Structure 1
Amino acid sequence: MLSKFKNNSFFSKKKNLWITLAGVTLLAVGGFYAYQTFMVTPDVEDAPVMQTAKVRQGDLTLYASGTGTLIPAAEASFGFRSSGQLLSLSVSVGDTVKAGDLLAELDNTAEKIQLQQAERTLAELTSPASIASAKQALALAEREVSDTKKSLAYQISWAVLKSEEKVAEAEEALLLAKESGDSAKIAEAEATLENAERVLAGNWDYYENHYIPENFKVAATRSTPSYIATPTEFDILEARAAYALAQAELIEATDYLAVIQGDEIPEGATGSMLANFASAQLNLISAQENLDATRLYAPISGIMMSINAQVGDTVGASAIVTIADTSESYLEIFLDETDWGMIAVDYPVEVIFDVLPEKTFSGKVVQVDPALYTAQNTAVVRGIVRLDDASFSGSKPPVGSAAAVEVIGGRAEEAILVPVEALREASPGQYTVFVMVDDEPKLRVVEVGLQDLFYAEILSGLEVGDVVTTGIAETE
């Protein structure tokens, strides 16, 4: 048993030796491979790969997307200007009306009576009999002017009276000349006034020394000697006042006759008769306004959108009807505030309504709010778009229709395009590109037009088919 055991031990030791030698060999091969792989630096590195793109021709469109709602060209919500019971209603929702059409009326019996009374009063003041009476009053006023003028002329003499009138005319002419600022006219007016005053002074001298003794001498009687009854200052003032009053009444009579015959009331005109006539006119206007306040007229042409009252209801001044002018189609649009620079007046717009998803409508921006608009606690850009009515082949979408909107901020058709990665900004607004010539990149200055996130329009400097670099590809 022992011998057998020894023999087995020998063979076991020999087997372990071979296993050990094999392991050493594997370790040596693995170490050499690791050294070659991780420790030895290659003599030549891989060359970088140049990325390029070919210049092509195509369309480039810049746009901002948003939402919109169809709105009328104009809208009016209104009611009566007085309160009362609704007597009649002449329209229904959906009816087309014109500006000035009578839509509804309140019970206005009292207002009609008031208007009739005012019309009758004014008619009486302008009747043939009233006009004849005014003509008679004018004739009497003219006679009174003539009589009071003669009385004053007797008191102060015709020469003095005419000279005073000349002085008054010269004073008025001087005021007008001063208002004009013309030095020549002023000098002429001053000379005329000075001459008129000199003539007046001479006539007063003649009046005192000759006119009074010749015209106011009282002959002697048995009991009294002759004497001069010189007009007193009071006598002259009284005569002047009577003449001025007669002149004023003549003006009033003239104005009144002209007015009741159809002329406008002159500015600054006075007189009790004229005041009565003006009051009658105002009463008529007031009565007509009171009656009109019981009638509801359409302020604009359009479609009746809503009526919030029925015949028999008691209504006040609150709005009960709404009219929308849909003769032109407008869209109220909203864009994200980051698109502020993508919208301006006259920019074209493309619209797709939710109710007509298969048709695209065109329009143009007509208004952009100068400040951001807050909607649902979000700041947005608000604008108004006028839609091209020619794009509506059939009936228009209803007011309030929602739509998707694209504002075209720029469009280039059949333009020369390059990827934006090809552009190098040399200075603000100045760009260059590297063009591959004979497999070598050559720097070239280009003029850039529109740009979006992916492509840029080249206005000059490149041709279709040119190859430009867009960067270096990373290699492992």
Structure 2
Amino acid sequence: MSLSLKKITGFFTKNKRNTVIGAVVVVTLLVVASALAFFKPAVGAVATATAEAAATPKYYTASVSVGDIELSASGSGNLISNSVVELAFSTSGTVTRLYVQPGDMVKTGDLLAELNASKELQAEVASRKLAVIEAQQALNQLQQNAEVSLASAFEAYVTAKADYEEALFNSQRTAYSRCDQQTTTRLAQTLERATEQLKKLTDTTTEEYTEAKNNYETASANYTYCVSYSEDEKTLANAALSVAEATLKQAEATYNKLKEASGVDPEELALAEANLSNAQSKLEIAQENLNGTTLIAPMDGTVISIAAGEGQRVEATTFITIADLKDLMMEVSVDESDLSFLTPGTHAEMEFDSIANTVFSGSVIQVDPTLSESMEYKLATGKIRMDIENNPAAEQLLLGLNASVTLIKERAENALLVPLEAVRDLGNGNTAVFVVGADGNLTFRAVEVGITTETQAQILSGLQEGDTVSTGLVSTNS
């Protein structure tokens, strides 16, 4: 009877998906095979030794060690500042004064450079300032004269009311007799006598007739004037009443409006305020044009570059660049296959060729939404905020420096480590290893695995330092 040890030990491969049952079967079969070999009739000493050697499988082994392990990806980076401003004059001209040089540190509000300011711009600013002063004075005067304006409006209202009442009286009286009853009676009697006197005279050529006729006409006119108003008088009276009524309404409205506005006409106030605002806007434009001939530092930082020197003509393009060298960032690029490492919060370590034996740390704060291309490769890019506050080597950092970047997803120090080949995946999150005993026999033992890389695995429980594990079968014999 014979068994193939090659078949028996075939379970001990590098396949991580061997099951516990399979492992037990392997161990059992090995025991059976050993027993059969032991009980097999001996042919001779040489034959026995050969059989025993053939029955003993050989394995690769490794010791459980203690060390550091990390799951990381490598990339490259370029040092930039997170706070950079580019300053330009708003107009072209000749640089008359330059107060800084590249590398100088500046504070917010520092004067950096000046162009030759034209006399026209200076005169324009002066003119606009005067216009603002005049508009402000007009507004102030309007507000200061509020009491006088209100009193004048009230006086105009009282006068208009009196004129209206008089016009109303004159209009209403045209419907009645102009004279009192006594006067009317007297004039009627005079007209009656003049009429009778004129009727008595038949010769119209005499002076007596002419005199009588004149007396009649005068008496008739006086009586008519006394007892009624003419249509023209009525029309004029009604027209005067309409004018007086309109004047009264206007005066009353003006007075009420000023009274509600504490004596200031809202329309005049709005106009005065609009004039002031317009004057101020024109002054701001003129001042901006003049200010465009100077450059002021908008933040604390370091002068990175200057486009020209004193006496040179410049256009309205970037002239001075300022950056905050305390707010440094790393533009990082990694292969698209390592995109999972480039996530916000991932710890990063950076090393510069120009700064030996120094590692800078930081964390990913931004991931660009699209991939970039470099030759035939696609790269994932992002930004890393660097922690340089307590790093003395930070003084050696210059914008534009290239760095080697390591993105560390997981890291463990003083961890129990085994080769990755020693770990068997049992499924459902379960793992195990074959532990080699002092007698060379294998024991199947469940373990808890932590960080894994392409070559190593961290063991959280189930093993201890110095244990020996099998990493695979060396060879088998029939």
Q: Is residue 312 of structure 2 the alignment partner of residue 313 of structure 1?
A: yes
Distance 1:432 1:237 in 2: 108
Alpha-carbon offset, residue 394 of structure 1 = 6.9
SS at match of 1:464: coil
Deviations 1:54-92 (A, max 9, x none): 333322122222222222232223311112222222222
C-alpha distance in 2 between matches for 1:460 and 1:147 = 103
Q: Which residue of 2 aligns with 1:87?
A: 96
Query: For 2:318, what is the secondary structure of its paired residue?
Result: coil
Aligned match of 2:469? 468
Mapped to 2, the partners of 1:234 and 1:436 lie a distance apart of: 124
Secondary structure of 1:411's counterpart equals strand
Identity of aligned residues (%): 31
Please tell me whether residue 77 in structure 1 is matched to residue 86 in structure 2. yes
Taking structure 2 as the reference length, the TM-score comes to 0.65
Instruction: After superposing the two structures, state which structure 1 stretch, 74-83 or 237-246, moved more.
Output: 237-246
Q: Do the aligned residues in 2 keep the contact of 1:362 with 1:391 (CA within 8 Å)?
A: no
For 1:380, the aligned partner's letter is L
Distance 2:278 2:468 in 1: 91
Contact 1:334/1:380, CA 8 A, preserved across alignment: yes
What residue ranges of structure 1 are gaps of 5+ in the alignment?
1-41, 158-212, 257-265
* Residues 237, 393 of structure 1: alpha-carbon distance in 2 compared, 3 angstrom cutoff: same
SS at 2:82 equivalent:
strand
With over 3 angstroms needed to count, the CA separation of the structure-2 counterparts of 1:448 and 1:248, relative to structure 1, is farther
Provide the residue aligned with 1:184 in structure 2: none
1:122 aligns with 2:123: no
Indicate conservation of the 8 Å contact 1:252/1:271, yes or no.
Answer: no
The aligned amino acid for 1:138 is A
In the alignment, structure 1 residue 66 sits paired with structure 2 residue 75: yes
Q: Is the 8 A contact 1:50 1:472 kept in 2?
A: yes
Alpha-carbon spacing, 1:224–1:101, altered in 2? closer, same or farther (3 Å) = farther
Q: Which has the larger radius of gyration?
A: 2
Q: CA RMSD in A?
A: 4.0
Equivalent residues in 2 for 1:168-317, closer than 5 Å:
221-222=178-179, 223=226, 239-248=248-257, 271-317=270-316
1:238, CA displacement in angstroms? 5.5
CA-CA distance at 1:379 after TM superposition: 1.8
Counterpart of 2:402 in structure 1 is: 402
Aligned residues: 368
Counterpart for residue 38 of structure 2: none
Maintained 8 Å contact 2:355/2:396: no
For 2:471 and 2:268, locate their aligned partners in 1 and report how far apart those are by CA, in whole Å: 89
Deviations 1:278-331 (A, max 9, x none): 222222212111111121222332222221222233322111222222123322
Which position in structure 2 is the counterpart of 1:112?
122
Aligned to 1:416: 416
Task: Give, in angstroms, the shift of residue 269 of structure 1.
Answer: 8.6
Q: Equivalents in 1 of 2:161, 2:462: separation in Å?
A: 102
CA contact (8 A) 2:132 2:279 kept: yes
Q: Deviations over 1:176-225 (max 9, x none)?
A: xxxxxxxxxxxxxxxxxxxxxxxxxxxxxxxxxxxxx99x9759641368
After superposition, the Cα gap between the structure-2 partners of 1:152 and 1:124, relative to the gap in structure 1 and judged at 3 Å, is closer
- Say whether the 8 Å CA contact 2:135–2:275 is kept in structure 1: no
Q: Quote the offset at 1:351 in angstroms.
A: 2.2
Is residue 143 from structure 1 mapped to residue 151 from structure 2 by the alignment?
yes
What do the CA deviations read for 1:356-389 (whole angstroms, capped 9, x no partner)?
2233333333333233233456321223223332
Q: Is the 8 A contact 1:252 1:269 kept in 2?
A: no
- The separation in 2 between residues aligned to 1:430 and 1:76, in whole angstroms, is 56
* Kept after mapping to 2: 8 A contact 1:307/1:320: yes
Taking a change above 3 Å as real, the CA distance of residues 240 and 356 of structure 1, as seen in their structure-2 partners, is same
1:100 to 95, 99, 109: 109
Amino acid across the alignment from 2:460: L
Residue in structure 2 matched with residue 453 of structure 1 by the alignment: 454
Deviation at 1:456, TM superposition (A): 0.9
Q: How does 1:334-349 map to 2 (within 5 A)?
A: 334-349=333-348
> Structure 2 regions of 5+ residues with no counterpart?
1-49, 180-225
Partner of 2:358: helix, strand, or coil? coil
CA distance in structure 2 between the aligned counterparts of 1:122 and 1:321, rounded to whole angstroms:
34
Counterpart AA for 2:288: E
Q: Name the CA distance, whole Å, in 2 between partners of 1:440 and 1:244.
A: 115
Structure 1 residue 411: Cα displacement = 0.7
Contact 2:452/2:458 (CA < 8 Å) preserved in 1?
Answer: yes
How big is the shift at 1:466?
Answer: 3.9
- Counterparts of 2:442 and 2:264 in 1: how far apart (Å)? 97
Inter-partner Cα distance in structure 2 for 1:318 and 1:253: 53
| CA distance, structure 2, for counterparts of residue 474 and residue 448 of structure 1 | 28
Q: 1:98: how far off?
A: 1.9
The answer (yes or no) to whether the contact 2:425–2:431 under 8 Å persists in 1 is: yes
Q: Report the counterpart of residue 182 of structure 2 in structure 1.
A: none
Partner-residue secondary structure (3-state), 2:327: strand
Note closer, same or farther for the CA distance 1:251–1:274 as it changes in structure 2 (3 Å cut).
Answer: farther
Cα distance in 1 for residues equivalent to 2:337 and 2:301:
37
Aligned to 2:194: none
Which letter maps to 2:92?
S
